[in-house]
Structure 1
Amino acid sequence: MSGVREAGEHDFVAVGLGPFNLGLAALTDPLDDLDGVFLEARDAFSWHPGMMLEGATIQVPFLADLVTMADPTSPWSFLSYLKQHGRLYPFYIRESFYPLRAEYDAYCRWVSTRLPSIRFGRTVRSITHDGGGYRVEAVLADGSTEVHRAPRIVLGVGTQPSLPWPLDGLGAPVVHSADYLPARDRLRAGESITVLGSGQSAAEIYLDLLEGIREGGYRLDWVTRSPRFFPMEYTKLTLEMTSPEYTSYFHALPPATRDRLGREQRHLYKGISGDLVDTIFDTLYRLSVDGPVPTRLLTGAELRGASWDGQRFALDLHHLETDQPLRTSTAGLVAATGYAARVPAFLIPLADRIRWDAQGRLDVGRGYAVDHGQCEIFVQNAEEHTHGLSAPDLGMGAYRNSVIIAQMLGREVYPIEERIAFQEFGVPADLAVGDPRPPVPARPPADDPRPRRALRPDASAPTSHHHAPGSHHNTLSLSNGEDPR
């Protein structure tokens, strides 16, 4: 049965339901003067199901839940979830700040089923502006269309799995880390497996496969273009870079400087937890007691080409430090190569209402809005290039939602921290010498055609595929934006 149904008017419509928009739903739930609706294509909340490895933890403390950093008294906190499920004292006795990944997923599902503003099974197909507000069309499972109207939009559609160009479009059974668990048995049934990447997901998958290497009888290789297996940095002064003041400092920098810093800072939040690095070494040591372990760890090797003959992959690599080519083959291939932001197709009708940078990316304002007036279209975890490494960090999700709520209401509902770091970023005003350099334009001139040409929406991308994990420095046990290796 098909048809179009007017579902009502709201103060805002949110598209997609990852942890960040779920946090917004929880924080707006008690507000009588802010009515929002959250549209999610899936039938239920699910957070990284392909990487729900047994015993894996998230790598941010439980305080980085959906609401606590904005409202410690919220009934939607992780501690409230534990209390209601009789698990608060066991969690206390466990003496670890880091929840199990499966437990965090269960917590989010608990919240998502109790908020009346959430609508599952709604796939957003188009968003248009009729002069008075936004018209959001969502398709339901029965083929009918539901229309929601609002003066504001919040986009939380997440990021999509990314493959290095030699594998993109290869037409071969490459397994992205996002889909690892469903493919694990098939991979183990082969005679060889290669894992590409050097982030947290790659390390977790390598360890998971390594534990079964003797019983499985397969060869296991781990290949990365990084010069070494970088650990994530957890030192406290570095953690201050996930702060409101560093975010403001980063946002004010010229785009070219931001892009350079984004590349230079990758090792701060796209590496591997130190404990996991040690566990991998200890596992290799333990297995080596019975003889050589059939595995190879290869660093500094960039993927330059790939082919598939129906049985095996041939991988053409280039060793960056020696400038030498090399080739390997494998029956199974896991690409733990991260995720990338894409512009969803339903934004095409709104292209003229959105600010774009010279590279065709969303030009996100400091208050997380992308429309020209900076008050109508907000984004969640689509601003790493403008706001830095705090964008995918779960611990900063409640802060960003506090800012977005304040922008929509014109008042501060949840106190917004402006300074939490001991250190200062940039040049302190009392130490500055001379006049500051003139500001660099944040976007090209209006008559520059590049933003329009650069807009390449992903028409096939679902409206609610979330890899946002966020992380501490993007350090959930899987990194939202792991560097494609």
Structure 2
Amino acid sequence: MNAAALDEGKDVPETVDVVGVGFGPANLAIAIALREHAEEGRPLEAVFFEAQEEPTWHPGMLLEDASMQISFLKDLVTFRNPVSPYSFVAFLHQRQRLVDFTNRGCAEPLRIEFAAYLRWVAEAFVDVVRYGSRVERVTPVRIEGEVEAFDVLVASADGVRTVRARSVIVAAGLRPRFPAGIAPGTRVWHSADHVHRVGQLRAPRRLAVVGTGQSAMEVALDLSDRFPEATVHVISSQFGVAPSDQGPLVNRIFDPASVDLLFDATDAVRARLDVLHRNANNGVASSSVIRAFFDRMYRDAWLDRERLVLHRVSRVVALEEAPSVVELRVQSDLDGDVTSLHVDAVVFGTGYRPFDTAELLQDDVDLLRRDDAGRPVLRRDHSATLTEPGSARLVLVGQSEHQHGLTSTLLSTTAVRAGEIADALVAEAAENQHSHDRSAGAHTADRKGTHVTV
């Protein structure tokens, strides 16, 4: 395929085997696995479209002293292929940081360090990704009553184009979640945008953070560091701040093998385990961050000042933003009292929601089979169960905690999951080789790795 073919906006779109929506860790790991298949003689033509202009990973939360909460071994490849050239260890070695990382004596990388690793890997796959390209729509292609492919509408600075693929992988990440009735504004933002937005503040005196998880605690400490003269109000639904459960037995729920157990379990058992073990990841903070928060409160008490104020078992019941101030009404669920706070800005560390593929399917949203709760029903390999027959494959990554468990949106099983998805795509392509509508030799001369010229 050549670039001109798509740029000319032909009525009949050019076809590839796989289109990936997004190029974050999930699809980056899949690109690695597909390249390994190609090196073993099983190539697929794949192209990934990423809305960002360059490789980025949670740029709004790249605080200088923030660390990951997982081992460096839970990278893009190691659990699946320990000798891969795209491991975190290989990255450290190439950057001449391996010895220093070891001497640091900590298995959890700095967040800025892991982001640099992801960028380093992404730079090795510039031939298969198109940055600054936003997927606007995914439309099923029906041939004789069966869904045989998808047309992917992509918008970029060069215009709008359509690429047809037999398989589409939607790994568009998570979306910031605000409480009902709350919308972002000039002085109201989500922790996901914190680094980008906090610079607009000029000598604030009162600030607020809503939430009790890792992000909320990190933002509160960051605000206190940046503005030592300010008072930071932290509004928590909990009595305190619960620590994440990092015990080795509980952590097994994040093992790749546990995905099989959870997927095969009943809905009731999965729901019960979700409640029991959600404190291993969601709405909790690391012990080190909790200690730093409490130590600062304790030290300030001896210095007769109050820079961190924790509103326990409380929630925001109203928010009104004016040009120079935000008024929050905070209700305590302990005694029902309502406090009015006037702050210079408020940051919501209230978590994320999975991307909903319905945004891409639009009028064809009914193509996705859903359960009684309206959630997509996936197979073990993360491909969606469709309501119509056909060989086309729609893979949804990060949208199935209800089936695959807590790791659906986490890095813990990224490497193994990528291998499973790539294996399924390659096997499916082999089974459907006879139905390919392009000539057998049209692309063989230029099919190295996962290369495609789109």
Separation of aligned partners in 2, 1:245 and 1:43 = 36
The share of aligned pairs that are identical, in percent, is 28
Q: Secondary structure at the match of 2:198?
A: helix
Whether 2:26 is the aligned partner of 1:14: answer no
**Is the 2:356–2:399 Cα contact (8 Å) retained in structure 1?**
no
Separation of aligned partners in 1, 2:57 and 2:102 = 24
Could you tell me which runs of 5 or more consecutive residues in structure 1 were left unpaired when the two chains were aligned. Answer: 412-485
Find runs of 4+ consecutive structure 1 residues off by over 6 angstroms: none
Separation of aligned partners in 2, 1:110 and 1:203 = 29
Task: Give TM-score, length-normalised by structure 1.
Answer: 0.78
Match in the other structure for 2:248: 236
Whether 2:95 is the aligned partner of 1:49: answer no
- Once the two structures are TM-superposed, the CA of residue 237 in structure 1 deviates from its matched residue by 0.6
Correspondent of 1:227 among 236, 239, 262:
239
Match in the other structure for 1:67: 77
Separation of aligned partners in 2, 1:98 and 1:244 = 19
Whether 2:135 is the aligned partner of 1:124: answer yes
Match in the other structure for 1:83: 93
- Once the two structures are TM-superposed, the CA of residue 292 in structure 1 deviates from its matched residue by 2.1
Amino acid at match of 2:93: K
Correspondent of 2:294 among 265, 281, 285:
281
Separation of aligned partners in 1, 2:275 and 2:202 = 34
Farther off after superposition, 127-136 or 200-209: 127-136
Correspondent of 2:111 among 74, 82, 101:
101
Match in the other structure for 2:316: 303
Correspondent of 2:33 among 27, 33, 52:
27
Amino acid at match of 1:157: A
- Aligned pairs for 1:160-199 (under 5 A) are 160-168=175-183, 173-187=187-201, 189-199=203-213
Separation of aligned partners in 2, 1:342 and 1:405 = 21
Task: Give TM-score, length-normalised by structure 2.
Answer: 0.83
String of CA shifts for 1:387-423, please: whole Å, max 9, x gaps.
2211122121112112212222339xxxxxxxxxxxx
Correspondent of 1:142 among 151, 158, 173:
158
Match in the other structure for 2:411: 394
Q: Secondary structure at the match of 1:348?
A: helix
Separation of aligned partners in 1, 2:131 and 2:180 = 34
- Once the two structures are TM-superposed, the CA of residue 210 in structure 1 deviates from its matched residue by 1.9
Match in the other structure for 1:4: 9
- Once the two structures are TM-superposed, the CA of residue 240 in structure 1 deviates from its matched residue by 0.8
Q: Secondary structure at the match of 2:138?
A: strand
**Is the 2:190–2:349 Cα contact (8 Å) retained in structure 1?**
yes
- Aligned pairs for 1:244-283 (under 5 A) are 244-255=256-267, 258-259=270-271, 261-270=273-282, 271-283=284-296
Match in the other structure for 1:460: none
Separation of aligned partners in 2, 1:264 and 1:299 = 22
The structure where strand makes up a greater share of residues is: 2
Correspondent of 2:376 among 352, 362, 373:
362
Farther off after superposition, 174-183 or 205-214: 205-214
Match in the other structure for 1:210: 224
**Is the 1:196–1:202 Cα contact (8 Å) retained in structure 2?**
yes
**Is the 1:213–1:220 Cα contact (8 Å) retained in structure 2?**
no
Residues 156 and 207 of structure 1: is their aligned pair in 2 closer, same or farther, counting only changes over 3 Å? same
Match in the other structure for 1:436: none
- Aligned pairs for 1:449-468 (under 5 A) are none
Separation of aligned partners in 2, 1:188 and 1:298 = 25
Separation of aligned partners in 1, 2:16 and 2:317 = 50
Amino acid at match of 2:238: S
Separation of aligned partners in 2, 1:258 and 1:319 = 32
**Is the 1:242–1:396 Cα contact (8 Å) retained in structure 2?**
yes
Residues 121 and 135 of structure 1: is their aligned pair in 2 closer, same or farther, counting only changes over 3 Å? same
Whether 2:120 is the aligned partner of 1:110: answer yes
Whether 2:360 is the aligned partner of 1:343: answer no
Q: Secondary structure at the match of 2:173?
A: coil
Residues 172 and 81 of structure 1: is their aligned pair in 2 closer, same or farther, counting only changes over 3 Å? closer
Farther off after superposition, 251-260 or 397-406: 251-260
- Once the two structures are TM-superposed, the CA of residue 112 in structure 1 deviates from its matched residue by 1.0
**Is the 2:224–2:230 Cα contact (8 Å) retained in structure 1?**
no
- Once the two structures are TM-superposed, the CA of residue 134 in structure 1 deviates from its matched residue by 1.6
Residues 27 and 188 of structure 1: is their aligned pair in 2 closer, same or farther, counting only changes over 3 Å? farther
